[in-house]
Amino acid sequence: MYGNVFFLKLKEKSAGDIIYYKYDPISELKFPFMIVGYFLKQKEIFLNKEYIIRGRNWNDYGNNTPITDINSGKPVTEFNIGSTWKVVDISIKSAKGELSFGFGKNLVLILENFQKEKVQLPIEAVHWEWALFEKEKAEKFKEKFGSEVWQKILEGQIWLNMTDEMCRLSQGIPDKVNKTITENLKSEQWVYRKRVYTTRDQFLYFKDGILTAIQ
150 assigned to some structural domain? no
The DSSP symbol for 200 reads: S
Domain boundary among 102, 134, 166: 134
Do 101 and 165 belong together in one domain?
A: no
Do 118 and 196 belong together in one domain?
A: no
Task: Look at residue 104 and tell me whether its pLDDT is greater than 60.
Answer: no
176 assigned to some structural domain? yes
Do 128 and 163 belong together in one domain?
A: no
202 assigned to some structural domain? yes
Please give the C-alpha separations between residue 151 and each of 54, 147, 155, 158, 195, in angstroms, as whole numbers.
10, 6, 6, 12, 21
Task: Look at residue 106 and tell me whether its pLDDT is greater than 50.
Answer: yes
CA dist 213 and 140 (Å) reads: 28
At 110-153, the pLDDT tens digits run 999 999 999 999 898 898 888 899 999 999 999 999 999 999 99
Domain boundary among 134, 166, 190: 134
105 assigned to some structural domain? yes
Do 128 and 172 belong together in one domain?
A: no
Model confidence at 101, pLDDT cuts 50, 70, 90, reads very low
At 158-192, the pLDDT tens digits run 999 999 999 999 998 899 999 988 888 889 999 99
Please give the C-alpha separations between residue 55 and each of 85, 141, 157, 169, 174, in angstroms, as whole numbers.
11, 18, 13, 15, 20
Do 127 and 184 belong together in one domain?
A: no
Q: Which amino acid is at 183?
A: E
91 assigned to some structural domain? yes
At 1-37, the pLDDT tens digits run 556 778 888 888 888 899 888 877 665 555 667 778 8
Number of domains in the chain: 2
Higher pLDDT, 97 or 67: 67
- Domain residues for the domain of 109 are 28-134
Do 128 and 54 belong together in one domain?
A: yes
pLDDT for 128: 87
DSSP structure string for 29-98:
GG-SS--HHHHHHHHHHHTT-EEEE-S--TTTTTS-PPPB-TTT-SBPS---TT-EEEEEEEEE--TTS-
Model confidence at 208, pLDDT cuts 50, 70, 90, reads very high
CA dist 30 and 182 (Å) reads: 47
87 assigned to some structural domain? yes
Do 116 and 200 belong together in one domain?
A: no
Do 120 and 164 belong together in one domain?
A: no
Model confidence at 105, pLDDT cuts 50, 70, 90, reads low
Please give the C-alpha separations between residue 192 and each of 175, 176, 195, 214, in angstroms, as whole numbers.
5, 7, 8, 11
Domain boundary among 101, 134, 167: 134
C-beta separation of 171 from 129 below 8 A = no
At 61-90, the pLDDT tens digits run 656 678 889 989 899 988 999 999 999 999
Do 110 and 52 belong together in one domain?
A: yes
13 assigned to some structural domain? no
Task: Look at residue 97 and tell me whether its pLDDT is greater than 70.
Answer: no
Helix and strand numbers (H, E) in the chain are 4, 11
Do 35 and 120 belong together in one domain?
A: yes
Please give the C-alpha separations between residue 89 and each of 16, 123, 136, 140, in angstroms, as whole numbers.
28, 11, 19, 25
168 assigned to some structural domain? yes
Do 162 and 107 belong together in one domain?
A: no
Query: Please, what is the Cα angle at 104 between 169 and 52, to 5 degrees?
Result: 30
Do 72 and 112 belong together in one domain?
A: yes
